[in-house]
Amino acid sequence: MRRPWFDARPLVVLAPMEGITDSPCRRISRLVSPDAVLFTEFTSARGLLHGNERTWKMVHFEPEERPLVVQIFGSSPEDMAAAAREVEARLRPDGIDINFGCPVRKVTGRGEGCGLMRDPARAALVVRATKDALHATPLSAKIRLGWERREEAVPFALALEEAGADLVTVHGRLRKERPRDPADWEAIARVKRALRVPVIGNGDIASGADARRRIEESGVDGVMIARAAMGNPWVLAEIVAALRGEPSPEAPGIDEKIRLILRHLDLNIAHHGDRRGVLAMRAHFGDYFSGFPGAKELRTRLNDLSTRDDVLTLLEPLLQLV
């Protein structure tokens, strides 16, 4: 029997990000960071149960993506249990995670995502039903600090633990707070001190030094990285090395970055199809070229392209300059 994915140390996790962490993105992350845990984009339980092809494609993964956790969301205990059972049977992921953190109005308005933090009793029912539906797959949950008050986090997390959650990830912001607002790691630490199960902290970690400091300050068992990994999957390897006390890997040069972008492009095309694969890269081009000389003009030009050949025509000459 395999160890649970969260037994790994150091525990470094790529966050689920809608429209970002699809299978091509995860495979690119795995290429440069073999030790990170990867999450799918958050996925509707109802869409899975309705057999929606696009929804199932969001949770599909290749063997090299393991350890891989599928994140689902919904407010019906019955639907969540049924969806988790089907995901486990069809895909055998390393874990299933329930999203209690999405702050988007179209999700919270249906009482899903962070909307369930207003109803801890129902959230606990969702966890209990989902846990009971699974045979051997660990069940985790990702929460925010609360809907309106930071004091909501500890009792909510305790309710999930009591209902059967094997791990809780805490995003250190309230529902109304945005990425520019600082994450509250003292509030994350309070959740860690209250729970018996492992706790992962999420928010404002952009380097190995950040991760090491946050773990030392809060006592969390691991860290989850989101924005800092967009266009910079190498940061995951940097954080793993820092937490192991190893030298930081050498930062990628321009040539390495461009070659990885082209690899990402080809994976996107294979996964999404010719045109959609190129268009989907627009979510990544800006981040990949952050800090690159002439980045603004280059991003503008790339975002006007819709074929692989056009992208190659623009980027391949840059390899001749390095």
State the pLDDT at residue 293.
82
Show which of 219, 244, 269 is a domain's final residue.
Answer: 244
Show which of 224, 244, 264 is a domain's final residue.
Answer: 244
* Model confidence pLDDT, tens digit, residues 76-120: 999 999 999 999 999 999 999 999 999 999 999 999 999 999 999
**How many structural domains is the chain composed of?**
2
Please say if the pLDDT value at position 321 is more than 70: no
Confirm whether 219 is domain-assigned: yes
- The percentage of the chain sitting over the pLDDT mark of 70, rounded to a whole number, equals 99
What letter would DSSP give residue 233? T
State the pLDDT at residue 159.
98
* Model confidence pLDDT, tens digit, residues 278-289: 999 999 999 999
Confirm whether 43 is domain-assigned: yes
pTM over 0.85: yes
State whether 269 and 229 are in the same domain. no
State the pLDDT at residue 133.
98
Confirm whether 249 is domain-assigned: no
Please say if the pLDDT value at position 252 is more than 50: yes
> Pick the catalytic residue: 98, 102, 229, 235?
102
Confirm whether 169 is domain-assigned: yes
CB environment 187-202: b (16+ within 10 A), e (fewer): bbbbbbeebebbbbbb
State whether 199 and 218 are in the same domain. yes
State whether 219 and 292 are in the same domain. no
d(CA 252, CA 100): 35
State the pLDDT at residue 2.
75
State whether 158 and 125 are in the same domain. yes
State whether 192 and 50 are in the same domain. yes
State whether 128 and 200 are in the same domain. yes
State whether 170 and 287 are in the same domain. no
Please say if the pLDDT value at position 274 is more than 50: yes
Please say if the pLDDT value at position 131 is more than 60: yes
Show which of 225, 244, 263 is a domain's final residue.
Answer: 244
The CATH number of residue 275's host domain is 1.10.1200
Lowest mean pLDDT among 74-83, 218-227, 264-273, 310-319: 310-319
The answer to whether 75 and 98 have CB atoms below 8 angstroms apart is: no
State whether 296 and 182 are in the same domain. no
The CATH number of residue 218's host domain is 3.20.20.70
Q: What is the domain range of residue 311?
A: 254-319
State whether 263 and 156 are in the same domain. no
The answer to whether 65 and 26 have CB atoms below 8 angstroms apart is: yes
d(CA 177, CA 187): 14
State whether 32 and 145 are in the same domain. yes
Is 102 known to be catalytic?
yes
State whether 236 and 275 are in the same domain. no
Rounded to the nearest angstrom, the gap between the alpha carbon of residue 60 and the centroid of all alpha carbons in its chain is: 15
Lowest mean pLDDT among 15-19, 45-49, 98-102, 251-255: 251-255
Confirm whether 102 is domain-assigned: yes
Please say if the pLDDT value at position 247 is more than 60: yes
pLDDT bin (cut points 50, 70, 90) of residue 189 is very high
State the pLDDT at residue 291.
84
State whether 233 and 315 are in the same domain. no
The answer to whether 311 and 303 have CB atoms below 8 angstroms apart is: no
pLDDT bin (cut points 50, 70, 90) of residue 320 is low
State the pLDDT at residue 322.
46
User: What φ, ψ does residue 305 adopt, rounded to 5°?
Assistant: -95, 150
Confirm whether 168 is domain-assigned: yes
Confirm whether 93 is domain-assigned: yes
Lowest mean pLDDT among 27-41, 60-74, 88-102, 280-294: 280-294
State the pLDDT at residue 170.
98
State the pLDDT at residue 292.
83
User: What φ, ψ does residue 12 adopt, rounded to 5°?
Assistant: -120, 125
